[in-house]
C-alpha cells in the first residue's frame, strides 16, 4: 500500500502532566497515564526512543519540557511539540540538534537550539536526498546553521512560519521559504529557492543568493539582497546596501536578473552591481522619492578580455515608479 493511500494510525504518545490534583486522565486511545514528573520527560533519549518505536504515518506529540538530545528522524512521521516556546530540544552544543533522514516529515511546535559550532552543524539538517518535508511554527536559535537544506530538488521542502534568530546562518540551502521572521543572524538566508513573505531584518546579510524573491520586508541589514533572480514586490528598507548584484548576471535558471516593482526606501545605497553583473533588468521600482527621470544604477564590471580590469558601468530603471507600492507581505 502506498504512503499516500494508506490509512494512517496516529501514535498518540502525549504525556499529561498536572501540577494540581493527584488524578489521571485517559489518553485518546484509552490508556491511563499516572502523573509523570518533568525529570522523566527531560531524560536523554526520550524523543529518540519514541521515534524509534514509531511507524511511518504516525504522529508523535511531545509535551512541554527541555529535552537534551540530538535526534535522527528516519521515518515518515509528524513530530509535534506542545508549545514552540516551552517545548525545547537542546543539542548541548554538539553536532546537529535534529537530523532529517527521510521524506514527508513534519516538525512543528519546538524551540530547537544549541547545535555544535562546526561549519555544517545545524539546528535542523535535512539530508541531501530528502524532500517534501515541512518545518513550520518553530523557534530556531543559537545554532551554527539554523536550518541546513542543501537537497537535490530541495525546493520541495517547505520552511514556513518559523522564528529564526541568532544563528551563524539562519537558513542555508534550498527550499520554499515563506512567512518566517529571520533576524540577528550572520546571514539570514544563503542559497536559492522561493523566498516569499518573510520579515528579514538586522542580519549581516539578509539574502545571499536567490531565485524568486517576492513580497518580503528586508530591513536594517548590512546588505539586503546579495545575489540575483526575480526580485519583485519587496520592501527594501534602511539597509546599508539595498541590493548588491555581484557577479550574478544569471539567476539560478540561467536567466537575466529582473528587479521590478520594489520599494527602495532609506538605504545608504539602494543598488550596486559588480563583476559580470551588467545586463540586469530594472523595471518600475520606487526609489525613495517620486521620479520623472530614469534612475541611474552605477556599478563596476569586469572586462571580458582582461578579467582583472574593472570599469565603471551604468544600468537604468527607465520608468521608475512615482509613488511607493502598496505591497502586501506574503502575497
Share of the chain above pLDDT 70, in %: 79
Q: Which of 20-24, 26-30, 69-73 has the highest mean pLDDT?
A: 69-73
Give the up-direction half-sphere exposure of residue 217: CA atoms within 13 A in the CB hemisphere: 15
Phi, psi of 39 (to 5 degrees): -60, -40
The least confident of 59-73, 104-118, 153-167, 240-254 is 240-254
Single pTM value for the model: 0.83
- pLDDT tens digits along 234-271: 999 999 999 998 755 445 555 678 999 999 999 999 99
Domain ranges, ordered by start, for the chain:
1-154, 186-331
pLDDT confidence tier of residue 298, bands split at 50, 70 and 90? confident
Band (328; pLDDT cuts 50, 70, 90): confident
DSSP 40: H
Gap between the Cα atoms of 257 and 245, Å rounded: 9
**Predicted pLDDT at 210:** 80
CB 277 within 8 A of CB 313: no
Contact criterion met (CB below 8 Å) for 125 and 133: no
State the pairing for strand pair 176-178/194-196: parallel
| Residue 9 pLDDT class (50, 70, 90 cuts) | very low
pLDDT at 176: 93
Residue 37, C-alpha cell as written in the block: 514528573
Cell of 251: 539567476
Look at residues 217, 221, 170, 183 and name the one whose alpha carbon lies nearest to residue 198. Answer: 217
At residue 26, the pLDDT reads 31
Q: If pLDDT is split at 50, 70 and 90, which confidence band does 40 have?
A: very low
Q: What is the residue whose three cell numbers read 529535552?
A: 67
What percentage of the chain reaches a pLDDT higher than 90? Answer: 65
Identify the DSSP state of 49.
H
Which of 38-42, 165-169, 191-195, 269-273 has maximum average pLDDT? 165-169
Amino acid at each position: 500500500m502506498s504512503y499516500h493511500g494508506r490509512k494512517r494510525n496516529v501514535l498518540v504518545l502525549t504525556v499529561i502532566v498536572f501540577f494540581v490534583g493527584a488524578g489521571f486522565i485517559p489518553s485518546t486511545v484509552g490508556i491511563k497515564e499516572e502523573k509523570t514528573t518533568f525529570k522523566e520527560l527531560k531524560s536523554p533519549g526520550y524523543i529518540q526512543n519514541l521515534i524509534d518505536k514509531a511507524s511511518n504515518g504516525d504522529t508523535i506529540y511531545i509535551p512541554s519540557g527541555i529535552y537534551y538530545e540530538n535526534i535522527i528522524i528516519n521515518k515518515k512521521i509528524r513530530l509535534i511539540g506542545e508549545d514552540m516556546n516551552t517545548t525545547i530540544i537542546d543539542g548541548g552544543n554538539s553536532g546537529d540538534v535534529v537530523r532529517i533522514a527521510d521524506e514527508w516529515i513534519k516538525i512543528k511546535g519546538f524551540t530547537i537550539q544549541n547545535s555544535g559550532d562546526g561549519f555544517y552543524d545545524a539546528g535542523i539538517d535535512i539530508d541531501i536526498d530528502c524532500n517534501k518535508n515541512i518545518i513550520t511554527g518553530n523557534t530556531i536559535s543559537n545554532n551554527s546553521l539554523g536550518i541546513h537544506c542543501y537537497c537535490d530538488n530541495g525546493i520541495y521542502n517547505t520552511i514556513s512560519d518559523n522564528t529564526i534568530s541568532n544563528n551563524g546562518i539562519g537558513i542555508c540551502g534550498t527550499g520554499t521559504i515563506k512567512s518566517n521572521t529571520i533576524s540577528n543572524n550572520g546571514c539570514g538566508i544563503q542559497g536559492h529557492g522561493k523566498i516569499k513573505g518573510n520579515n528579514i531584518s538586522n542580519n549581516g546579510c539578509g539574502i545571499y543568493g536567490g531565485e524568486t524573491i517576492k513580497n518580503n520586508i528586508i530591513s536594517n541589514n548590512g546588505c539586503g539582497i546579495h545575489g540575483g533572480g526575480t526580485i519583485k514586490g519587496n520592501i527594501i528598507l534602511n539597509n546599508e546596501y539595498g541590493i548588491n548584484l555581484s557577479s550574478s548576471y544569471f539567476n539560478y535558471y540561467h536567466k537575466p536578473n529582473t528587479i521590478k516593482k520594489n520599494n527602495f526606501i532609506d538605504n545608504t545605497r539602494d543598488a550596486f552591481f559588480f563583476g559580470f553583473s551588467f545586463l540586469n533588468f530594472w523595471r518600475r521600482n520606487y526609489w525613495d522619492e517620486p521620479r520623472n527621470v530614469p534612475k541611474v544604477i552605477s556599478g563596476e564590471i569586469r572586462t571580458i578580455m582582461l578579467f582583472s580590469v574593472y570599469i565603471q558601468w551604468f544600468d537604468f530603471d527607465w520608468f521608475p515608479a512615482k509613488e511607493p507600492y502598496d505591497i502586501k507581505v506574503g502575497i
